Amino acid sequence: MADATKYADLGLVNTRDMFKKAMDGGYAVPAYNFNNMEQLQAIVVACAETRSPVILQVSSGARKYANQTLLKYMAMGAVEMVREMGANIPIALHLDHGDTFELCKSCIDSGFSSVMIDGSHHSFEKNIELTRQVVEYAHPRDVTVEGELGVLAGIEDEVSSEVSHYTKPEEVEEFVKKTGCDSLAISIGTSHGAFKFKPGQPVPPLRFDILKECEKRLPGFPIVLHGASSVIPEYVEMINKYGGKMEGAVGVPEEQLRKAAKSAVCKINIDSDGRLGVTAVIRKVFVEKPSEFDPRKYLGPAREELVKMIKHKNENVLGSANRA
């Protein structure tokens, strides 16, 4: 078996220090998912240009899609590219929704600096046992671990859930104490994907009371918000205008994310907004320039849009700009 890769040798950092600063500074660190070169370039360029710390997030599906070895070198290349830009921002490489100990171990051994073990579909006891097992492997290697309590509706990697179960605040202290995890994802009404709430619902019902109660029971402990895309209406309109079909797609309003970022929420996960932006731009190019067949002519503008979107999130929603 090949020797394990140490994340520090790739120029990566874990999330401990990032979260401490985010907690003290009242902002959230962005965690953007990537599957390909254009997404990765956009994320690191936008974060370097806004001087934001960043968590590069890889799901098990992304790992299968892009190849685990290639991904590691892509992350390493991204770190190097950022240095060449003269930017000095902390970059973490994080496994999103790891569902087994073996997957988390494999990511840690291949250079990830942080992993999520999502045992939220198991019983409370089994979730604790699984999360503890990952922590015991991760901590001696100085890799940070995110656990989850409560189930989000929508697709969580390859596990889909029809219904959400809010996090029970009375469980969080025991979970954190028994597992030793470094951060905790909670369920307060957000969900994965582009259809989070009923269209026309005046204020999406996020349970800030549950967040507050978790904060009270875990003072100073980093909370993570999944399913936090705003499903940017301009992108949905563009997609529908240029031949797509995404009627009724609705996300979390930006004001609510701003409010969450000021609390103990130290990490906000965004994937769907990036997917929507890329799809909207590519659709537009295909309609306006039907004879174009050079992928750079549609992936390039899609990448530019992604840079714009991420800068906006860092500056105006998460508050992570100029915090690196």
Catalytic positions, please? 96
Contact between 43 and ligand 13P by CB under 6 A: the answer reads no
Contact between 229 and ligand 13P by CB under 6 A: the answer reads yes
Question: Which is nearer to ligand G3H, 276 or 307 (by Cβ)?
Answer: 276
Q: How far is CA 238 from CA 50, 77, 247, 284, in A?
A: 26, 33, 11, 7
* Residue 270 binding: pick among ligand 13P, Zn ion, ligand G3H, none (C-beta 5-8 Å cut-off by kind): ligand 13P
Question: Which is nearer to ligand G3H, 15 or 82 (by Cβ)?
Answer: 15
Q: Which residue has the tokens 């990511």?
A: 107
Q: Which of residues 29-58 bind ligand G3H (CB under 6 A)?
A: 33
| 3-state SS assignment for residue 32 | strand
Phi-psi category of residue 154: left, alpha or beta, with phi > 0 → left and psi -120 to 50 → alpha: left
Tokens of 251: 């996300």
- Name 76's Cβ contacts closer than 8 Å, sequence gap at least 6: 10, 11, 111
CB 2 within 8 Å of CB 68? no
Question: Which is nearer to ligand 13P, 97 or 105 (by Cβ)?
Answer: 97
Contact between 97 and ligand G3H by CB under 6 A: the answer reads yes
Q: Which residue has the tokens 């600063």?
A: 21
Listed ranges 2-10, 269-277, 295-303, 312-320: which one lies at the site for ligand 13P (CB under 6 A): 269-277
Residues present in the chain in total = 324
The count of residues interacting with ligand G3H (CB under 6 A) is 10
Listed ranges 107-115, 174-182, 225-233, 299-307: which one lies at the site for ligand 13P (CB under 6 A): 225-233
Distance of CA 173 to the CA centre of its chain: 24
DSSP-assigned letters across all residues of 160-172: EESS-B---HHHH
Contact between 226 and Zn ion by CB under 5 A: the answer reads yes
Question: Which is nearer to ligand 13P, 53 or 227 (by Cβ)?
Answer: 227
Tokens of 308: 């714009």
Angle 14-15-19 (CA atoms, 0-180°, nearest 5)?
Answer: 155
Out of 94, 226, 283, 312, the residue judged to bind ligand 13P by CB under 6 A: 226
CB 164 within 8 Å of CB 153? yes
Distance of CA 257 to the CA centre of its chain: 14
DSSP secondary-structure letter at 98? E
Out of 118, 146, 148, 156, the residue judged to bind ligand G3H by CB under 6 A: 156
We find the least distance from the C-beta atom of residue 151 to ligand G3H, in angstroms, to be: 12
Using CB atoms within 10 Å of the CB of residue 47, give its burial: 0 to 12 exposed, 13 to 18 middle, 19+ buried: buried
Question: Which is nearer to ligand G3H, 33 or 127 (by Cβ)?
Answer: 33
Out of 99, 118, 271, 273, the residue judged to bind ligand G3H by CB under 6 A: 271
Contact between 118 and ligand 13P by CB under 6 A: the answer reads no
* Residue 215 binding: pick among Zn ion, ligand G3H, ligand 13P, none (C-beta 5-8 Å cut-off by kind): none
> What is the distance between the alpha carbons of residues 270 and 226, in angstroms, rounded to a whole number?
8
Tokens of 1: 């078996």
Out of 28, 41, 44, 96, the residue judged to bind ligand 13P by CB under 6 A: 96
Contact between 10 and ligand 13P by CB under 6 A: the answer reads no
Residue ranges that bind ligand 13P, judged by CB under 6 A: 33, 96-97, 192-193, 226-229, 269-272
Residue ranges that bind ligand G3H, judged by CB under 6 A: 33, 59, 61-62, 96-97, 156-157, 192, 271
